[in-house]
């Protein structure tokens, strides 16, 4: 169990550092050539890919140790779907949240090395209303976080099913996380992960903490629904498949 929790801590730290770090440090980056500033930032597509790559790389690295959840909603969804022990849920969630806070702390130190940096600018925190990148409403945020988490968990449950092609799950999961970021960043900066939301919110404070409830409630709801729907849709494996 100790090894599993260390893996979840480090994996979630990497997810926040890599994903949120790409948003804070690299999404917009201007270099000056002569008098003309040139935008060398990676933009929305780059940030989406960065989040996907963090999960893909960690899935191959620690999947055999802890399952590479890196996300309380994933742990809840797998538990509801009968793939994860309920007795391990709370320790996993604690390790994930602590890892996310550690990743955000490291990022704050790096980003703080630039003159004028302040976490008040957002720090890749998730939000709705005035704090949504596209100024989307609370209901838009709740629906998007619930639905996108549902499909994320559906991909996780399906690609890790013993009846699915073996060894390819990390690729499917990483690409799915990339895709849902492409959809959801304009709405909420995309969470689908309560730990990922908590890490930056701790350092932003104020509005980010006040709105954090949505980024726990909606992803967990979506995960629970997926944990119920997938076993019904997939059915029990035959004796040969089992």
pLDDT tens for the 242 residues of the chain, in order: 999 999 999 999 999 999 999 999 999 888 776 677 888 899 999 999 999 999 999 999 999 999 999 999 999 999 999 999 999 999 999 999 999 999 999 999 999 998 888 888 889 999 999 999 999 999 999 999 999 999 999 999 999 999 999 999 999 999 999 999 999 999 999 999 999 999 999 999 999 999 999 999 999 999 999 999 999 999 876 555 54
Rounded to a whole number, what is the distance in angstroms from the first to the last CA of the chain?
A: 26
Q: How far is CA 203 from CA 100, 109, 118, 152, 211, in A?
A: 11, 11, 10, 27, 14
Q: To which residue do tokens 């957002």 refer?
A: 122
Task: Let me know if 237 is exposed, middle or buried by CB neighbors in 10 A (0-12, 13-18, 19+).
Answer: exposed
CB atoms within 10 A of CB 141: 26
The domain covering 2-234 belongs, at the CATH homologous superfamily level, to Glycerol uptake facilitator protein. (1.20.1080.10)
Task: Let me know if 63 is exposed, middle or buried by CB neighbors in 10 A (0-12, 13-18, 19+).
Answer: middle
71 in Cβ contact with 192 (< 8 Å): yes
Task: Let me know if 233 is exposed, middle or buried by CB neighbors in 10 A (0-12, 13-18, 19+).
Answer: exposed
């Amino acid at each position: 169990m100790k090894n599993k929790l260390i893996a979840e801590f480090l994996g979630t730290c990497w997810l926040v550092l890599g994903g949120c770090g790409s948003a804070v440090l690299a999404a917009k980056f201007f270099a000056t050539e002569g008098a003309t500033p040139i935008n060398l930032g990676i933009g929305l597509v780059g940030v989406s890919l960065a989040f996907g790559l963090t999960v893909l790389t960690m899935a191959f690295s620690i999947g055999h140790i802890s399952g590479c959840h890196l996300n309380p909603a994933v742990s809840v969804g797998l538990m509801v779907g009968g793939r994860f022990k309920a007795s391990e849920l709370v320790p996993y969630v604690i390790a994930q949240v602590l890892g996310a806070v550690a990743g955000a702390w490291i990022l704050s130190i790096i980003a703080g090395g630039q003159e004028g940096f302040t976490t008040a600018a957002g720090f890749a925190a998730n939000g709705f209303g005035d704090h949504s990148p596209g100024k989307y409403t609370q209901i838009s945020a709740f629906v998007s976080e619930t639905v996108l988490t549902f499909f994320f968990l559906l991909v996780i449950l399906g690609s890790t099913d013993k009846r699915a092609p073996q060894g390819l799950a990390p690729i499917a999961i990483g690409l799915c996380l990339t895709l849902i970021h492409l959809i959801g960043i304009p709405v909420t900066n995309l969470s689908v992960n309560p730990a990922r939301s908590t890490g930056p919110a701790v350092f932003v404070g104020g509005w980010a903490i006040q709105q954090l409830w949505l980024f726990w409630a909606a992803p967990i709801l979506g995960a629970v629904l997926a944990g119920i729907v997938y076993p019904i849709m997939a059915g029990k494996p035959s004796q040969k498949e089992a």
